[in-house]
Structure formats: structure tokens, C-alpha cells
A and B are shown apart, each in its own frame.
Chain A
């Protein structure tokens, strides 16, 4: 990136659409600081009342799993079917369980 004439760092935008719902990734934008990032996020991503809550996070602060590592990374969850309720056999006639 040209450091003398650029659009500022990249931020990721998360919107909460209704109180109580989780924040969901909406997209990204460029801004030079926090105030500009949150203002721009409002103008770019919530022009039609899409949200009641808004987060902006500098993109370079997000830690993520690389796709090539994903299989090994999530592997520990692969063989533990006993974590799901359907694993267990219930006696005939058992109710509310």
C-alpha cells in the first residue's frame, strides 16, 4: 500500500440486527481511526436500520484459522459423538428428557 496516499487501514464490520441476537459480520471498510470507522460503518452498512448495535474491529487484529490447517485444527471434535444428546439410548416410554 502506498503510505503517502492511501485509504487508511481496513476494519471489519459486525452488526447486531435486534437486541439479544448475536453480532454478525457484514463486511469491511477503510478508515483512519475508530471514530471514522464507526461513522463509516453506519453510513455504509446500516442505511436502512439494519442494526441496533455495531462493532468495528481492525482487520489485522483478528486471529483466524488458516483453511489449510482447518482439518487438523478442528479434528479433536471429530470423534466425540457422545457430546450430542442423540448418542444416548433412552428407555421406551421415557418422557420430557
Chain B
């Protein structure tokens, strides 16, 4: 696929496009759009879709070991939601002219990324709490802002996802609360999960605005409605009181409550962030290998369905 550079586009068309964006009109799949706008959305929406799908793995790890039938049922429903969210997003991404197969191929080839948070292992049941509360919590902050993104199919997918996602965060916080009300060992497990997931959760919002070169255009085109740092701050400010309420301690010695009621955190370990993105996190290889394997195992089903459909043209079923 060839994408025109911004300076190769017709300036008149660019200007008219920007005017539509500024008037808060949504861009629909068949509307004219600059290639750079299309490319940014292809990249961002598919990364988002891959994150939902890969995100099923760390939680799937605990399905068979959930401590009760209630928690198992809930976790199963949550993972099913993540699959659904991946599907909404793939469909939105496909409207940009790239097929599902190509998106999956790019993931397998390492050309497409997914959120680096899913490259951390889930070591015990408390991690299910930390993921729901922190990882889904961070995702919600980002996604609420994206319900107003300028690309119509992406915005509509976000509205559906946000409606479903708030149960995810609540189930996570409930797990943490129960553990904090439990034995000393359970409280230690909950604190340990927070210690391991706090910083990677803050990294989910991406680099500081000053180090995020693509952000300027994305904001100008209203693909992004808020900067990485603004969203991160929002997450920090709403999460810290939740931690304090149930007696958890944020693992940051430099944490400071400021006069305006917001929190100043210590510096994020960006070296770790870039290292995980590059593929050197604790579980990168495992996550991708599992996805490849699952996809390959399903190949015979896709092949059989295609052959069946070609033979009967879908006529044998339902009316």
C-alpha cells in the first residue's frame, strides 16, 4: 500500500477536510481523507483491536483457577467482552481499506503493535484485580476521550466499548477490595499486584507529549481528543483515592498531592517502556507465539467454511 505524504496532497482538499474536522463533522469511510489521516487511523485502530485480543491471554491464564464459580463466570464474561471489543475495532479498521487477514498478518509479522501492558505476566489471582481496576481503568480514560474521535466508525465502536467496559473496572476493584478485607497474606498479594501493575499502567498512555511526535497532527485532526499526559493525569487523579480508600499504597516515594488536588508522580521508567515495546518484555514472545498458534489451529475451519460456502453459496441455511 502506498500512502501519500502530507505535502503531496492537494492543499485545497486538505483545507476543506480540516474545515470539516473543525466543524466537528465525523469522517465516514467513503469520504475523502488525506492518506496520512487514513494511515494514522489504520495504525491506531488496529493497535487498539490487537490489544483487546492479546489482552485475553493474561486473563485467560486464570480462568481455570478462579477462586469461585462466581468469579469464574464473571472473568469469562469479561474475556468474552474483550473478544467482542476486538471485533468491533477490527471492523472499524477494515472500513479504511485493509482486510482483517492483512491486519492479523501485520500483527504476526511484528509490523503492528498492541498495548505493552499485556506483555507483563499475571502471577496470581490478585493480578486479575489489578488488571481490571488499573488496566481497564486506564483504557476507559483513553476510550471515553475517543468516543469523540473524528473517524465515525472508530467513535461508534468506542461508544459501545465504553458502555461495556465499566463493569470490567468494577469487577477488578471488587477483587482488590475483597482481598484488602481478607487475611494478611491476601492484603500482601493485592499490594504486590498494585506494585507490579502501577507503573506499566501509567505507561499505557504512551510517551510524554514532548516525546510524542505523531500527536500534533492527531490532535489537529481530532483523532485524539486529549494528549497522553492529560489522559494519564486524569487516570492518576481518579485512581489514587480509590487505592487509599481500601488501604493500598501507591508504589511511588515521590508521589505528591498538589494544591489543586491533583497528584504529581515520580518519573516513569521510559527505558523499560521502550524495551517492552521493542519486544523484550517478560511475555512478548509468548503472547505472539500463542496468537500465531491459535490462528494456525483455526486454519482448517476457515478453509472448510470457505469451501462449504463456495459450494452452496450460503443457500442451505436459514430460510
Contacts and interface: CB of A to CB of B under 8 A. Distances in A.
Interface of A: 1-10, 26-30, 32-36, 38, 43-45, 47-48, 64, 66-68
A34 B32 CA distance: 33
Nearest to A11: B91
Interface stretch (B120-128, B282-290, B302-310): B302-310
B302 A5 contact: yes
Contacts, number: 76
A4 B318 contact: no
Contacts of B100: 6-7, 30
Given A5-B299, A67-B31, A47 B318 contact: no
A4 B310 CA distance: 11
B318 A27 contact: no
Contacts of B302: 5-8
Contacts of B229: none
Contacts of B305: 8, 32-33, 36
7 contacts: A1-B99, A1-B101, A6-B100, A10-B91, A28-B94, A33-B314, A36-B305
B99 A6 contact: yes
Nearest to A1: B99
A8 to B, nearest CB: 6
Contacts of A29: 87, 91
A33 B308 CA distance: 9
Given A34-B317, A43-B84, 16 more contacts: A2-B101, A28-B94, A29-B91, A32-B305, A33-B316, A35-B317, A35-B318, A36-B305, A44-B84, A44-B87, A45-B84, A47-B77, A66-B30, A67-B28, A67-B32, A68-B32
A32 B91 contact: no
B94 A10 contact: yes
A44 to B, nearest CB: 5
A6 B28 contact: no
A60 B318 CA distance: 19
Complex A-B, nearest 6 residue pairs according to Cβ-Cβ distance, in ascending order: A32-B305, A35-B317, A33-B314, A34-B318, A28-B91, A32-B309
Interface stretch (B34-42, B156-164, B271-279): B156-164
B17 interface: no
A17 to B, nearest CB: 13
A5 B84 contact: no
B81 interface: yes
Interface of B: 28, 30-32, 77, 80-81, 84, 87-88, 91-92, 94, 99-101, 156-157, 160, 164, 299, 302-303, 305-306, 308-309, 312, 314, 316-319
Contacts of A38: 318
A36 B299 CA distance: 17
A95 to B, nearest CB: 40
A43 B80 CA distance: 9
Given A34-B317, A67-B31, A27 B91 contact: yes
Contacts of A66: 30
Contact of B157 (A8, A27, A67): A27
Contacts of A26: 160
Contacts of B306: 3-4, 6, 8, 32
A43 B299 CA distance: 21
A7 B91 contact: no
Given A5-B302, A5-B303, A67-B32, A32 B308 contact: yes
A20 B299 CA distance: 42
Contacts of B303: 4-5
A32 B30 CA distance: 25
B85 to A, nearest CB: 10
Contacts of A30: 100
Contact of A6 (B88, B92, B101, B160): B101
Nearest to A66: B30
A69 B231 CA distance: 39
